Amino acid sequence: MTGGAGFIGSNFCRWLLQNTDVRVTVLDKLTYAGNEASLADLPRDRVELIVGDVCDADLVDSLVARVDGVVHFAAESHNDNSLNDPSPFVQTNVVGTYTLLQAVRAHDKRYHHISTDEVYGDLELDDPDRFCEMTPYNPSSPYSATKAGSDLLVRAWVRSFGVRATISNCSNNYGPYQHIEKFIPRQITNVLCGLRPKLYGQGLNVRDWIHVDDHNAAVWLILNEGTLGETYLIGADGEKSNREVVEEVLSLLGQPRDGFDLVADRPGHDMRYAIDSSKLRAELGWLPTYTTFADGLAATIDWYRDNEAWWRPAKEATEAKYAKQGQ
């Protein structure tokens, strides 16, 4: 797998250790978002970390030659960063995916592509529709445009070269080991540091939250039982406004629910994401297990409270970057 030192990838390693007997080779560049500490306690005979770039064709080819299949998590993943400097997004998300596709094509290996609901653009707050597999692509940010481009490369390699691939597009994940630049861990660690949570704009934007373990269980199911060439949307009916999430974080941490600041909005900010995951549920029998957001959020808060050594080194620089943007 790629990107195994990041948020979802490191949780996927843990999920595999608990639920399967596979051995995992992780290829990860250890960018600012990758953290070796997220894998440090895992048994070396089950999880091997190779530090390298998914754009390094020789390295990728040699690794793909010796594995049974590839799950591609590695990406530049943060929208705000893509607005400041799109270049690593084009390189890693587009060229990196191309590099992997050429390798799995050459070695005829099974490939699963991890993508996002953001490729579909956004919905109005009062739109009764949700995204489904047939929704046209309409990405808004440099991040989502490069993810859309990578999905389309996968589709082309399936059709033109017969690559044995599947794609999943998931909604917003939460859980342990998520970088503190992202919304939920930023607000939790702000409160733990005595800072006020920051809401972009009026805090009305809606995201469709899913626990990272529910996402990863779906990925494993699609990898093993999904139909080749198909796309599956992954979502757990978890729509919440950003303001509702911040109020819940404040309340769970014993703070007044209005103890947040409204800050500068994100340029081009997508209003709402919402996933219809009925294909995944009907065809593969997937169901989320974290059905009460407040419980999953409370467990996530406990994790950040108990693992300050994991996030503290990045806090000052992350907040300094946001302060420069007025956020």
The one among 191, 199, 234, 236 contacting ligand DAU by CB under 6 A: 199
Alpha-carbon span 180 to 189, nearest angstrom: 7
From candidates 28, 53, 118, 319, binder to ligand DAU by CB under 6 A: 118
**Whether residue 32 lies in the annotated active site:** no
Q: Which of 23, 46, 78, 315 binds ligand DAU (CB under 6 A)?
A: 78
Binding track, positions 220-259, relative to ligand DAU; x by CB under 6 A: ----------------------x-----------------
Window 277-306: contact mask with ligand DAU (x via CB under 6 A): ------------------------------
Instruction: Say how far apart CA 140 and CA 172 lie, in whole Å.
Output: 16
Residue 248 annotated among the catalytic residues of the structure: no
Which of the ranges 30-38, 41-49, 255-263, 264-272 carries the binding residues for ligand NAD, by CB under 6 A? 30-38
294's tokens: 């407040």
| Residue ranges of E strands in 29-129 | 47-51, 69-72, 110-116
Report yes or no: 139 and 148 within 8 Å, Cβ to Cβ.
Answer: yes
**Which residue has the closest beta carbon to ligand DAU?**
116
Residue 50 binds ligand NAD, judged by CB under 6 A: no
**CA distance linking residue 213 with residue 13, whole number of Å:** 11
CA–CA separation, 136 vs 285, rounded Å?
25
Q: Which residues pair with 234 in a beta bridge?
A: 170
The neighbouring-strand residues paired with 241 are 206
Interaction partner, residue 109 (ligand DAU, ligand NAD, none; CB < 5-8 Å by kind): none
The item of ligand NAD, ligand DAU, none sharing an interface with residue 29, based on CB under 5 to 8 Å by kind, is ligand NAD
Residue 73 interacting with ligand NAD (CB under 6 A) = yes
The CA distance from 134 to 42, in Å, is 39
Rounded-to-integer distance, Cα 244 and Cα 251, Å: 10
- DSSP label of 196: P
Whether 214 sits among the annotated catalytic residues: the reply is no
Contact residues toward ligand DAU (CB under 6 A) are: 77-79, 116-118, 171-172, 182-183, 186, 198-200, 205, 207, 242, 266, 273
